[in-house]
Amino acid sequence: TLPWGSPRRLVVVKGLEGMGAKQGEALAAYLRSPNPSTVLLLLAAQSLASSHWLMHAMPAACVVPVPPPTGRQLVGWLRGRAGTDGFELDEDAAGLLVELSGNDLAQLRGEVEKAALAGGPDNRRVGVAEVRAVVGEHRLRHIFELTRALAARDTGAALALLELLLNTGEDPLGVLGMLGREVRALWQAAEGVRLGRREEEIARALRRPPAAAAAVIERARGLAPGAPARLLERCWEAERRLKLTGLPRPELSLLVADLCAG
């Protein structure tokens, strides 16, 4: 059909990355002799391999890669998209959402909507308070991931997760308490192993599910004699210093690094 009210007609086609060569034969034939009054825009959700049939069906100059936004660009993109969706998203709130949720664009849009609902059914403004009201699921995941990073002695990941928890308003003493509980469990497991107790008995003392208890016991077996007790003392020292200095980030960062070092 001919365009109406303008010299060109724009046709947008999405989802072509899933179309096979056989299905795309008609489109490939059209691309060899397109309608001069039509602008055809083909959108793919991901970069196509050079072997994909569509990459051979059109001139290379017609392929325009559009990488997703990252870093500060992502914050700007999210604020702009939120505005299009009818929300007013503060810059600090957008940065916090990106830090918590990563760079999945669809997930970020959903998180903006959830945060807006935290302010009431008719709320359209999203600030840091609204974001923090819905970070519970992120908090639980980050705490779990932090304990796993400690068990794996992954210092980089553990420090990044600690930063996330503190940035989302987690109480530093609460984080310290969680770290202390993990180290105490490690010390209990090491004592159980030293005394020759069965794994089932140690797991009952730890009050953890079998798989979680087994992971603690395995790590305890890999530590040098006396190491769990030293780590527990290190937690007590960190608590004392934190209360004296009032500087939670450096104290907790040093503690996490020491716990990963074992």
DSSP 166-190: HHTT--HHHHHHHHHHHHHHHHHHH
| Whether 56 and 100 share a structural domain | no
| Whether 241 and 162 share a structural domain | yes
Number of domains in the chain: 3
Where is pLDDT greater, at 125 or 19?
125
Q: Is the pLDDT of residue 262 over 80?
A: no
CA distance 143 to 145: 5
By the 8 A CB rule, do 214 and 203 touch? yes
Q: Which residue, of 42, 62, 82, is where some domain finishes?
A: 62
What is the model's pLDDT at position 178?
A: 87
Q: Is the pLDDT of residue 153 over 70?
A: yes
| Whether 159 and 247 share a structural domain | yes
Q: Is the pLDDT of residue 5 over 70?
A: yes
- Which of 29-33, 69-73, 258-262 has the least mean pLDDT? 69-73
For residue 140, what pLDDT band results from cuts at 50, 70 and 90? low
The 3-state secondary structure of the chain reads CCCCCCCCEEEEEECHHHCCCCCCHHHHHHHHCCCCCEEEEEECCCCCCCCCHHHHHCCHHHCCCCCCCCHHHHHHHHHHHHHHCCCEECHHHHHHHHHHHCCCHHHHHHHHHHHHHHCCCCCCEECHHHHHHCCHHHHHHHHHHHHHHHHCCCHHHHHHHHHHHHHCCCCHHHHHHHHHHHHHHHHHHHHHHHCCCCHHHHHHHHCCCHHHHHHHHHHHHCCCCCHHHHHHHHHHHHHHHHHHHCCHHHHHHHHHHHHHHC
| Whether 163 and 250 share a structural domain | yes
Amino acid of residue 86: G
The boundaries of the domain holding residue 84 are 71-134
User: Model-level pTM?
Assistant: 0.52
| Whether 128 and 160 share a structural domain | no
| Whether 58 and 97 share a structural domain | no
Structural domain contains residue 77: yes
Structural domain contains residue 116: yes
| Whether 188 and 108 share a structural domain | no
Contacts of 192 (CB under 8 A, 6+ apart): 201, 202, 205, 217, 220
Q: Is the pLDDT of residue 87 over 90?
A: yes
Q: Is the pLDDT of residue 137 over 70?
A: no
Q: What is the mean pLDDT of residues 84-109?
A: 86
What CATH code is carried by the domain that includes residue 89?
1.10.8.60
Structural domain contains residue 140: no
pLDDT single digits (tens) 212-245: 788 889 888 888 888 989 999 999 999 999 888 8
What is the model's pLDDT at position 219?
A: 86
Structure tokens at 125: 């403004």
Q: Which residue, of 39, 62, 85, is where some domain finishes?
A: 62
| Whether 157 and 256 share a structural domain | yes
What is the model's pLDDT at position 136?
A: 65
Q: What is the mean pLDDT of residues 140-164?
A: 87
Structural domain contains residue 4: no
Structural domain contains residue 146: no
What is the model's pLDDT at position 50?
A: 84
Cα-to-chain-centroid distance, residue 9? 41
pLDDT single digits (tens) 187-209: 999 999 989 998 888 888 887 76
| Whether 56 and 93 share a structural domain | no
What CATH code is carried by the domain that includes residue 165?
1.20.272.10
| Whether 77 and 51 share a structural domain | no
- What integer best gives the mean pLDDT of the chain? 86
Structural domain contains residue 145: no
What is the model's pLDDT at position 204?
A: 82
What is the model's pLDDT at position 119?
A: 85
Q: Is the pLDDT of residue 156 over 90?
A: yes
